[in-house]
Amino acid sequence: DTGVSQNPRHKITKRGQNVTFRCDPISEHNRLYWYRQTLGQGPEFLTYFQNEAQLEKSRLLSDRFSAERPKGSFSTLEIQRTEQGDSAMYLCASSLTTGGNQPQHFGDGTRLSIL
């Protein structure tokens, strides 16, 4: 399977702990995106990378959140000092950049539950 892969699929943690999620995009895709989705809502954009450069961050991305894509391949999203409101599904997507606005292909997400 050559789709977008996210790990772990589920994460349960206590409030105040740090968590890190990993995303492996489709191999030839140089754009990588992070979204957050809560129950009954559509995904909300958090940030995106073109190769290793982080080009845009949403105001939703507080200073407790940090994302990296060190070699332009996989990416990590870290949340420090987790809060109840961080409970959500965190989705990663990837796309090509050639020829206009290419469709983004999503992984199956990491579901975060804060106790």
Sheet holding 5-7, edge to edge: 5-7, 19-24, 75-79, 65-68
If DSSP states are collapsed to H, E and C, what string results for 93-111?
EEECCCCCCCCCEECCCEE
Asked whether position 29 contacts other proteins by CB under 8 A, the answer is: no
> CB 16 → other proteins: shortest distance, Å?
27
Complex with other proteins: residue 7 or 17, whichever CB lies closer: 7
Instruction: Pick the piece of the chain touching other proteins (CB under 8 A) from 12-20, 42-50, 59-67, 68-76.
Output: 42-50
The structure tokens listed for 64 are: 């407790």
SS3 3: coil
Task: Return the structure tokens found at 93.
Answer: 């997507």
Q: Is 55 in the site for other proteins (CB under 8 A)?
A: yes
Place of tokens 């105040």: 16
Judged by CB, which is closer to other proteins: 30, or 80? 30
Closer of 80 and 105 to other proteins (Cβ) = 105
Given 45, 54, 61, 96, the residue binding other proteins (CB under 8 A): 45
**Number of neighbours of residue 113 by Cβ within 10 angstroms:** 12
**Position 21 contacts other proteins (CB under 8 A):** no
Instruction: Locate 30 and state its tokens.
Output: 């140089």
Task: List residues near other proteins by CB under 8 A.
Answer: 4, 6, 31, 33, 40-45, 48, 50, 55-56, 58, 91, 93, 95, 100-101, 103-109, 111
